């Protein structure tokens, strides 16, 4: 196994510096010889050496890789080495953050059977404290008979832990942000081992990227957290996702689910994935809905939820706002403890309610992210924090039938914080009455008001209501509220709502009788083009300094991997296409209204601005900030701003003003002119005298056509 020899013992055993370790059955290899590359920097030279294996060797089985980094010929104070990174065929393998204190070598154990046979370049990259990087490359051939990378098909089995001694409490250890192969990690793990825990919750982050080889070398180290593998239920951190799909994490943990729950010692425990990459932290996503159902079905008096990211944090951002709905759910379900990592310190927060205000019956958040990697002190103070500790250590929880005894113990064995946290459930098992009189009233084409009569509870107090739309939780509201404004609905769609009530003991009523409605068509406010034209200032125009690049490029404003151009094509399709990954289309039909062309060939189509960017520049955009110009170029808030048309028509128009070009189809010209004026009014642009005279004459002949009322866009000028 990797790391059978601790860093603390290496100075004794590495004095011989064995260059290459191969199993007896592995292919033959050339005798190792140290090879180096010197990289000049400002005032010194970085020498990166590969001690083992030697370049041009044929490798098989398990190999020890040894590297050394030296600063030579220094005429200035030498920088330190932050880390050494190992790669093969440009694939990231592992980072070593700590050199051996005596030999100053960096190393990894490389299971070459994990990779396909062939010859490739092995890279050792040193990253220094002054941001200089230096690499050494060596060609290495693998010969294991591997043509396809192995796949772990095992299924993770949730650990139930060991059985406590008679009369003893169940001991749960919790720690995160520690697996990096350092002495600090081993010291914290030693401290945990001295407690004889029944179960360990690892709270995420194996450094630097949670690759397979970092798990194999650092986490699996039997002097680190690897010794607890058989009693560990993990959760994934953000560093694991630096490898696509957190592949190393899921491989090491035998395809552990992103979210799961279990029961120990009368406590219900749930683990969830809080990564942005997984992105399932809001109502309607599978993980959130699972958590709502899991906690709703839970009848244990005491509950722990653990995950990597804290909801609240002593940092300028104040914590992860993306966890707002999850936190509200935990508060509504009267979860006892939320245990997290991520912040490299210990924090105990006072119990907080759904809105983050102190509440003696709220959720207590414990942050235990000082498992060995490094310490990060708080960046701000927060009156809601009861205790902060900036020393390496771990959290010890002794679980009883109605409370948890907690202690934060440092790597040196000092108890810096301790106490007892009682479970928030009262033992009441009777639910509130079912909400009645459910009514749904559309207030616009996209918003509906949901209302109901309040529930009552015989023993506990009603703690709130859960609102479901089409069977999916969309909101949890306070007990004093019996209405909810549901937004983001689609005109013409039919929806069904139900409401249930829950009390302070986490008992849930049956769902109410459903209420359904079909959302109405939107009411479009219009305005006379004459009024808008009269409001436009007349000024001289000049395109001096214009560049298309000053309006930047298409952006993906809503993060759905479809940029502005793709959104316009989707919105204007007469026959919607099938949307493939990364905003690719299959099928579909479009109609270019200005020249009357109907086509299924997307290559014939373009998306351009009704008021060309050159015209925007010379009629006021030249004084906008770069951000305002980008907002105009991607304006999806007013549909006339962006137009889909054939490339031939767009090429014919170019940057022309209306007096120089009008659409080929006469029936579209009045609309084109009215929308031209509306877009200019929305963005506070001007026009020159010939342009205004022409627009007034033509729009008058059009009967001063009414146009959809634009809303003024925010414009910042320099």
CATH class belonging to 436-470+478-508: mainly beta
Two tokens, residue 541 = 């125009």
Would the pLDDT of 10 be above 50?
Answer: no
What is the C-alpha to C-alpha distance for residues 164 and 167, in angstroms, rounded to an integer? 8
Return the pLDDT at 365.
98
What is the C-alpha to C-alpha distance for residues 165 and 167, in angstroms, rounded to an integer? 6
Place of tokens 């609905």: 489
Full DSSP string of 486-526: E-S--TT-EEEEEEEEEETT--BPPPPPPEEEEPPPP---E
Mean pLDDT of 510-517: 96
- More confidently predicted of 524 and 50: 50
Q: Which CATH architecture has domain 10-142?
A: Sandwich (2.60)
**Model pLDDT for residues 49-101, shown as the tens digit of each residue:** 999 876 667 888 999 999 999 999 999 999 999 999 999 999 999 999 999 88
- The DSSP bridge partners found for residue 122 are 88, 138
Q: In what order do the strands lie in the sheet with 436-442?
A: 436-442, 448-453, 483-486
Residue 623 DSSP one-character state: G
Return the pLDDT at 55.
61
Strand locations in 15-61 (E): 35-41, 44-52, 58-59
- The DSSP bridge partners found for residue 128 are 81
Return the pLDDT at 429.
67
Would the pLDDT of 5 be above 70?
Answer: no
Phi, psi at 60, each rounded to 5°: -155, 160
What is the C-alpha to C-alpha distance for residues 686 and 59, in angstroms, rounded to an integer? 72
Return the pLDDT at 318.
81
Full DSSP string of 156-202: ------PPPPTTPPEEEEEE-S-BSS-HHHHHHHHHHHHT--SEEEE
Mean pLDDT of 613-624: 95
Q: Break the chain into its structural domains and give their ranges.
A: 10-142, 170-422, 436-470+478-508, 526-708
CATH no. for 170-422: 3.60.21.10
- The DSSP bridge partners found for residue 170 are 399
Strand locations in 648-714 (E): 706-708
- More confidently predicted of 561 and 392: 392
Q: In what order do the strands lie in the sheet with 170-175?
A: 232-234, 199-202, 170-175, 393-399, 403-410, 415-422
Min mean pLDDT across 49-63, 222-236, 433-447 is at: 49-63
Closest CA to 149 of 124, 123, 118, 120: 118
Domains 10-142 and 436-470+478-508 share a fold: yes
Mean pLDDT of 157-184: 96
Would the pLDDT of 45 be above 50?
Answer: yes
Return the pLDDT at 361.
86
Return the pLDDT at 27.
35
Return the pLDDT at 701.
95
Whole-prediction pTM: 0.60
Return the pLDDT at 18.
30
200 and 232 Cβ atoms separated by less than 8 Å: yes
Instruction: Tell me the pairing of strands 81-88 and 91-96.
Output: antiparallel
Two tokens, residue 170 = 């169940």
User: Could you tell me the pLDDT band of residue 14, with boundaries at 50, 70 and 90?
Assistant: very low
Return the pLDDT at 561.
83
Min mean pLDDT across 250-264, 341-355, 561-575 is at: 561-575
Q: In what order do the strands lie in the sheet with 81-88?
A: 58-59, 133-142, 118-128, 81-88, 91-96
Would the pLDDT of 440 be above 90?
Answer: yes
72 and 44 Cβ atoms separated by less than 8 Å: yes
Mean pLDDT of 40-57: 87
Residue 301 DSSP one-character state: S
What is the C-alpha to C-alpha distance for residues 52 and 47, in angstroms, rounded to an integer? 15
- More confidently predicted of 580 and 128: 128
Closest CA to 232 of 129, 343, 329, 156: 156
Would the pLDDT of 129 be above 80?
Answer: yes
Instruction: Return the percentage of the chain with pLDDT > 90, whole number.
Output: 80
Would the pLDDT of 28 be above 60?
Answer: no
R_g over Cα of the chain: 32
């Amino acid at each position: 196994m990797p790391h059978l020899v601790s860093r603390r013992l290496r100075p004794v055993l590495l004095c011989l510096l064995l260059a290459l370790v191969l199993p007896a059955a592995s292919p033959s290899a050339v005798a190792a010889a140290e090879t180096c590359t010197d990289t000049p920097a400002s005032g010194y030279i970085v020498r990166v050496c590969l001690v083992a294996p030697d370049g041009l060797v044929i490798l098989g089985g398990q190999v020890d890789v040894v590297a050394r980094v030296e600063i030579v010929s220094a005429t200035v104070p030498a920088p330190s080495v932050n880390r050494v990174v190992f790669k093969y065929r440009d694939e990231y393998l592992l980072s070593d953050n700590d050199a051996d204190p005596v030999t100053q070598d960096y190393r990894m154990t490389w299971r070459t059977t994990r990779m396909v046979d062939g010859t490739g370049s092995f890279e050792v990259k040193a990253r220094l404290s002054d941001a200089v990087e230096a690499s050494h490359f060596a060609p290495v051939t693998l010969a294991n008979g591997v043509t396809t990378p192995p796949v772990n098909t095992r299924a993770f089995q949730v650990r139930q832990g060991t059985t406590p001694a008679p009369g003893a409490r169940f001991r749960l250890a919790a720690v995160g942000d520690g697996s990096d192969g350092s002495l600090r990690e081993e010291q914290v793990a030693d401290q945990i081992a001295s407690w004889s825990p029944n179960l360990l919750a690892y709270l995420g982050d194996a450094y630097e990227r949670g690759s397979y080889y970092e798990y194999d070398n650092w986490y699996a180290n039997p002097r680190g957290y690897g010794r607890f593998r058989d009693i560990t239920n993990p959760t994934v951190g953000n560093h694991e996702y630096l490898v696509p799909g957190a592949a190393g994490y899921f491989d090491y943990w035998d395809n552990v689910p992103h979210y799961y729950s279990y029961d120990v010692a009368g406590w219900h425990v749930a683990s969830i994935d809080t990564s942005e990459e997984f992105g399932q932290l809001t109502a309607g996503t599978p993980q959130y809905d699972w958590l709502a159902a899991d906690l709703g079905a839970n009848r244990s008096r005491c509950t722990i939820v653990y995950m990597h990211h804290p909801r609240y944090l002593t940092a300028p951002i104040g914590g992860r706002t993306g966890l707002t709905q999850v936190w509200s759910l935990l508060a509504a379900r009267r979860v006892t403890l939320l245990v997290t990592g991520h912040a490299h310190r210990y924090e105990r927060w006072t119990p907080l309610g759904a809105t983050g205000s102190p509440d003696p019956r709220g959720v207590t958040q414990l942050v235990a992210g000082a498992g060995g990697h490094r310490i990060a002190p708080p960046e701000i103070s927060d009156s809601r924090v009861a205790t902060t500790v900036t020393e390496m250590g771990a959290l010890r929880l002794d679980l009883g039938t109605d409370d948890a005894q907690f202690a934060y113990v440092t790597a040196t064995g000092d108890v810096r914080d301790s106490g007892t946290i009682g479970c928030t459930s009262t033992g009441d098992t009777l639910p509130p009455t079912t909400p009645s009189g459910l009514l749904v009233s559309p207030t616009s084409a996209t918003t509906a008001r949901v209302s109901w009569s309040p529930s009552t509870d015989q023993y506990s107090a009603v703690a709130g209501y859960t609102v479901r739309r089409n069977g999916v939780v969309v909101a949890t509201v306070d007990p004093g509220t019996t209405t909810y404004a549901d937004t983001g609905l689609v005109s013409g769609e039919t929806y069904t709502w139900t409401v249930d009530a829950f009390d302070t003991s986490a008992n849930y009523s049956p769902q109410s009788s459903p209420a359904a409605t079909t959302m109405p068509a939107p009411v479009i406010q219009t305005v006379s083009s004459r009024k808008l034209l009269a409001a436009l200032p007349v000024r001289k125009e000049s395109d001096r300094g214009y560049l298309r690049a000053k309006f930047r490029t298409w952006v993906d404003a809503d993060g759905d991997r479809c940029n502005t151009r793709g959104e316009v094509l989707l919105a204007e399709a007469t026959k919607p296409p099938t949307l493939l990954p990364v905003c690719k289309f299959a099928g579909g039909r479009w109609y270019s209204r200005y020249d009357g062309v109907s086509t299924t060939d997307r290559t014939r189509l373009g998306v351009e601005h009704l008021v060309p960017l050159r015209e925007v520049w010379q009629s006021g955009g030249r004084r906008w900030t770069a951000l305002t110009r980008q907002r105009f170029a991607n304006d999806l808030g007013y549909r006339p701003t962006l137009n889909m048309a054939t490339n031939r028509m767009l090429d014919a128009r170019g940057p022309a003003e209306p007096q120089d070009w009008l659409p080929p189809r006469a029936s579209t010209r009045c609309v084109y002119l009215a929308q031209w004026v509306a877009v200019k009014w929305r963005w506070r642009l001007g026009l020159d005298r010939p342009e205004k005279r022409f627009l007034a004459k033509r729009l008058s002949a059009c009967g001063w056509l009414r146009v959809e009322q634009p809303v003024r866009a925010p414009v910042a000028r320099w």
